[in-house]
Structure 1
């Protein structure tokens, strides 16, 4: 028995150990493909076989449900955004907003439309603009969509996009998911900065059940279970209990 899971790339650190445990407990093999959720949704809509789709937003699962491609959808985790910066004299003492405002610093992002991380980042810029008119728009105009698109850079296996882009001198700053900061603790050449309210964005993760087989539903319930939520929490995600 084998299932196919399409999952947002940001879920890799949580889902790899989660799926190992699911295989051990159930004896069911799961083939997982990670990628930008918007592009994964396009593959599903084009007819690729998929039992369960775990997205970094609600929009893509809800669209599949509305189109009759999904049987049901469930929220299973949440995230926020943060800022990763190169450690250098120009960034050492500046706060997150001062860094984003600095036109001398190259700001990298993911790609809106193709990747929910890019959509959330553009929402962040709009939130900044609501507090400081013109500022968010100016930051948005400078932002470089470096990953998460159809023809953007491919981050090497095992690398975190923010750290890799900064170390490759392709960006000085990167806006990405906050759970990655857990894996970057102790790195001396980069630092992560929290983005406070009312600017930050709640990134709600939702999955769509696409296969009526009981084993597909079994995997969905495992992700929603206390055991599945443990793996998400350990990887730095906000879970259904609000922690």
Structure 2
């Protein structure tokens, strides 16, 4: 398994050329939402163990960023999004095949370990001086907006107004949102449950069911997938009991 960052593909190619050793495995390129970082690294390791002839290459970013890269010609075999919207737009444009929801999760509120705003419940969000959310283009931002609209409908317009006034920044993806809280640069934020579970630097508080949302995570194979066979294998693997158990360990629930 490889996790590709900027320039990594060039460097890996250079080193392979110098070493004289060629990896003959099929390379499966997967774009995945940043919220899937930990779970997909575990899934890729298990998939490679079951399929030693396939090497998984993972690239993580906000779903909207990955969608743009695909639209601009990035070569990818499979795309896992944090919401239906960005994947559906790629399907409508002819870039991706039929989608399949492989996991779901809800949102939680996180605060720094020191909890300077002394937040104890979701209603205490108005105590925060600095709140960080995802921006309007990111799935986490869209889900957050839905939660706030539901809460404001019950708690009154003053709740929504105070929260809006306390927003310190709007980030491109959920990992950037979480990082602000971990670093103490925000008093509170909303993230997916898996992002809270995999962090040792935050305290987690539930969002009441009446205001929470269920975020579906869909996946699809590219219509131009260079390695369509391997992509189809991974797609089926995501529905397997072992894959669903790994997802559950990271805070997701079965799509079924």
What is the TM-score of this pair, normalised by structure 1?
Answer: 0.84
Structure 2 residue 232 is the aligned partner of structure 1 residue 208 = no
196-205 or 175-184, which moves further after superposition?
Answer: 175-184
CA RMSD of aligned residues (A): 2.2
Partner of 1:158: none
Partner of 1:217: 232
Partner of 1:91: 118
Structure 2 residue 130 is the aligned partner of structure 1 residue 106 = yes
Q: How many residues align?
A: 225
135-144 or 13-22, which moves further after superposition?
Answer: 135-144
Unaligned runs of 5+ in 1: 156-160
Over 3 Å counting, the alpha-carbon distance change for 1:214 and 1:82 in structure 2 is same
Partner of 1:38: 64
Cα displacement (A) at 1:139: 1.6
CA distance in 2, matches of 1:218, 1:154: 28
Residue 12 of structure 1 is aligned with which of 34, 37, 48? 37
- 2:133 touches 2:144 (CA, 8 Å); kept in 1? yes
- 2:131 touches 2:186 (CA, 8 Å); kept in 1? yes
- Greater relative contact order (CA < 8 Å, ≥ 6 in sequence): 1
220-229 or 76-85, which moves further after superposition?
Answer: 220-229
Alignment of 1:155-170 (within 5 A): 155=176, 161-162=177-178, 164-170=179-185
Which has the greater radius of gyration? 2
- 1:15 touches 1:231 (CA, 8 Å); kept in 2? no
CA distance in 2, matches of 1:17, 1:88: 31
- 2:34 touches 2:175 (CA, 8 Å); kept in 1? no
CA distance in 1, matches of 2:117, 2:40: 37
CA distance in 2, matches of 1:54, 1:85: 28
Partner of 2:241: 226
Partner of 1:121: 144
- 1:229 touches 1:240 (CA, 8 Å); kept in 2? no
Structure 2 residue 90 is the aligned partner of structure 1 residue 64 = yes
Structure 2 residue 209 is the aligned partner of structure 1 residue 197 = yes
- 2:115 touches 2:187 (CA, 8 Å); kept in 1? no
- The secondary structure found in structure 2 opposite 1:71 is coil
- Deviations 1:102-126 (CA, angstroms, capped at 9, x unpaired): 2x5211112221x211111111111
What is the TM-score of this pair, normalised by structure 2?
Answer: 0.80
- Deviations 1:61-91 (CA, angstroms, capped at 9, x unpaired): 1111112111211001011111111334641
